[in-house]
Structure 1
Amino acid sequence: MKVAIRVDGNKEMGFGHMYRQRSLSQAFPKDTKIFFLTKTPLDAKAVIGEAQIIALEENDLEQVLSFVKENSIDVVITDNYNLDENYLSELHRACAVATVDDLNHLEKYDVDLIINQNIYGKDLDYNCGNCKVLGGTEYAIIGENFVELDREEKLVNETPKMLVTFGGADKHHLAVKVADALSDFEEKIHAVFVLGNGFEDKELLNKELESWSNSFEILHDVKNMAPVILGCDFAVSAAGTTTYELAYCGTPTISICQADNQKDIAAGMQKAEFSINLGDAQDVLAEEIRDAVQLILLDKELRERMANVGKNLVDGRGAERVAEAIAGLAK
């Protein structure tokens, strides 16, 4: 089977779609030939690593259609909010199409399969004719490095570990905001700051941490987040795809939304009682961060309940289920 994945990512738009497609690509049989088609090839190489990466021009539809025809592609997977109805329809004329979507923002989806991995995914009514829709967290796409973990081995640290992670770029400077909010935090914690390859606030963060009363460590461009997440007692995180990795590991989360497409995730995961939703990055206050950390830190029973909810929501087989459904389109 030959699969082409149409995905972009950079500091401005974020890297979440690329990470998601890297995880999905790992779930296909080893003999599957996979190509990543992208307008951001250098960023793709940094995220995806050793893979067949095809650089696209600005107006790429004709280039993609030619690539599909010349390489006898069986299925194209799209994971990109910028592809419109015409793009998907033209692509569908050339081959089978599976769309990984979060928004249901198009009037019509002319595709064979739609995957919405989000907690609200089952509730959306897609206008896609006879296409199949896979919705909900049972289709949450997380990487094989997470699935290989024994999540039941999660330990409670003597000094609680707090993970701070806001994706590849952290364009709203949230790591610095968290560091500032907790600079004189009285309860004992050990903070683990994970900074992506697009993080540009290193000097500001280091300056904030100079006056910290608690211990901390800074990890840069971590290639395998699974043991880091499993090793932390709770997290302060963006409300994107990482939310489902945190849920799988049973790591209770304080969510801050970096983009509009994260709002429903944060709201849904709070309603399910896995996370505490602090709302938009631009509006969150230092005292709200402090209060949420104090609440989750001091209430062990709350953390245990949140952890169990997360593990029940995400069982780790989402990528496998999605890959099987996509493989079925090629038959």
Structure 2
Amino acid sequence: MICIRADGNQQIGTGHIMRCLSLADALREQGGEITFVTAEPYFQRLIQTRGYPCTVLGTAYDRMEEELSVFLPLLEREQPELVILDSYFVTPEYMKAIKGISKLFYIDDLNAFDYPADAVVNYAVYGPEMPYPQNKKYFLGPRYVPLRRQFQGLGQRIVRDHVEDVLISTGGTDPYHVALRCAKYLREHPPRENMKFHFVLGAMNQDVAELEGIAENFPLIQLHRQVADMCSLMCQCDLAVSAAGTTLYELCACGLPTVTYILADNQIQGARAFQKAGLMPCAGDIRADGDFFSGLFYKINSLALDRKCREDISCMMREAVDGYGARRLASAVNCLL
């Protein structure tokens, strides 16, 4: 049995849980038995709906050492072969305590310290360039990004001459109200008539009612909630806007030209790496740029008017991410058992 320890909430978003669910699905396909442990109950129902047991510790997600008095007895009772850990709030002491009971696999973005784990994955574009100490197994780069099965093996995108559909993805929580502010900008600066904007609203978006009011009177804005097949929606669109999280790798798998932006410190390095690689331009940091939205839509319009650029970017995106990362990562995990 493999235990996955991850969290999600209004403060840290949904990314840790969603990528762990993708990995869990791939492990299950390879015959694994998976259980989840979270600090809080916010995603317990979703995890259970996906077919996995989920234990809620009732602890603080950002003070992980304090949960050891609850978590360690659970591990001693269940005796998992491996713990997969996905949190920015781990400490060396916390990880050593877990490793005293089970093998440990850590999902990393930051290289914050020398992790006392058996193996580490960092699937970021910049992952292979990180100066990790060479004292354990590493799985680095987008080959290991754990995407959902629907993103596997997609064919080459046909890039249309004219941009008609634009996807706006602002994450599970949208703490800076990017969707709402984009909608208001579009209302004040209407695009050309045949361009539609598809807003994907996360489960914890606080602006749904106001966005529905705007969309009701502005038909070029279409709202999407609880999207089961995100891949199909991405493939339908010609351009995208997305915060610099795991969604960027889904967009790469679809070959959908994208303008990214930063909304948290842990996204800065990724956004810069994507831009440096020529995979997608970055519109800046929503927290710091007072003229963010005019710059964002300038970049959208520039890409919309340059079909050759969109075609080249789409090809590079597909070359960077083929969608089979979850399968590769699950095989890597199984090699540790």
- Whether these two folds match at TM > 0.5 is yes
**Aligned: 1:64 with 2:68:** no
User: Is 2:241–2:259's contact at 8 Å kept on the other side of the alignment?
Assistant: yes
User: Is 1:157–1:233's contact at 8 Å kept on the other side of the alignment?
Assistant: no
Q: How does 1:97-176 map to 2 (within 5 A)?
A: 97-106=104-113, 108-127=114-133, 130-147=135-152, 150-152=154-156, 156=160, 160-176=164-180
Q: How does 1:190-229 map to 2 (within 5 A)?
A: 190-209=196-215, 212=218, 215-229=220-234
SS in 1 for 2:27: coil
Alignment partners' CA distance in 2, 1:185 and 1:271: 31
SS in 1 for 2:198: strand
- 1:179-205, Cα deviation, whole Å (9 max, x unpaired): 223333343311111101101112332
Q: Select between 26-35 and 192-201 the one with higher mean Cα deviation.
A: 26-35
TM-score normalised by structure 1 residue count: 0.92
Structure-1 residue corresponding to 2:25: 26
Taking structure 1 as reference, are residues 295 and 155 closer, same or farther at Cα in structure 2, changes over 3 Å only? Answer: closer
Q: How does 1:73-88 map to 2 (within 5 A)?
A: 73-88=80-95
* Letter in structure 2 aligned against 1:86: E
**Aligned: 1:234 with 2:239:** yes
- 1:123-142, Cα deviation, whole Å (9 max, x unpaired): 11224x62111111111111
Alignment partners' CA distance in 1, 2:175 and 2:103: 35
Alignment partners' CA distance in 2, 1:296 and 1:44: 40
Indicate the RMSD between aligned Cα atoms, in angstroms.
Answer: 1.9
Structure-2 residue corresponding to 1:52: 53
User: Is 1:182–1:290's contact at 8 Å kept on the other side of the alignment?
Assistant: no
Alignment partners' CA distance in 1, 2:40 and 2:300: 37
Structure-2 residue corresponding to 1:17: 16
Structure-2 residue corresponding to 1:281: 286
Runs of 4 or more off by more than 6 Å in structure 1?
none
- Residue identity over aligned pairs, in percent, reads 30
Runs of at least 5 residues in structure 1 that lack an aligned partner in the other structure: none
Taking structure 1 as reference, are residues 320 and 94 closer, same or farther at Cα in structure 2, changes over 3 Å only? Answer: same
**Residue 209 (structure 1) shift:** 4.1
Alignment partners' CA distance in 1, 2:210 and 2:318: 35
Alignment partners' CA distance in 2, 1:252 and 1:145: 19
* Letter in structure 2 aligned against 1:160: E
Alignment partners' CA distance in 2, 1:223 and 1:38: 23
**Aligned: 1:314 with 2:321:** yes
**Residue 157 (structure 1) shift:** 8.4
Alignment partners' CA distance in 1, 2:145 and 2:245: 11
Q: Select between 202-211 and 285-294 the one with higher mean Cα deviation.
A: 202-211
* Letter in structure 1 aligned against 2:328: R
**Residue 57 (structure 1) shift:** 3.1
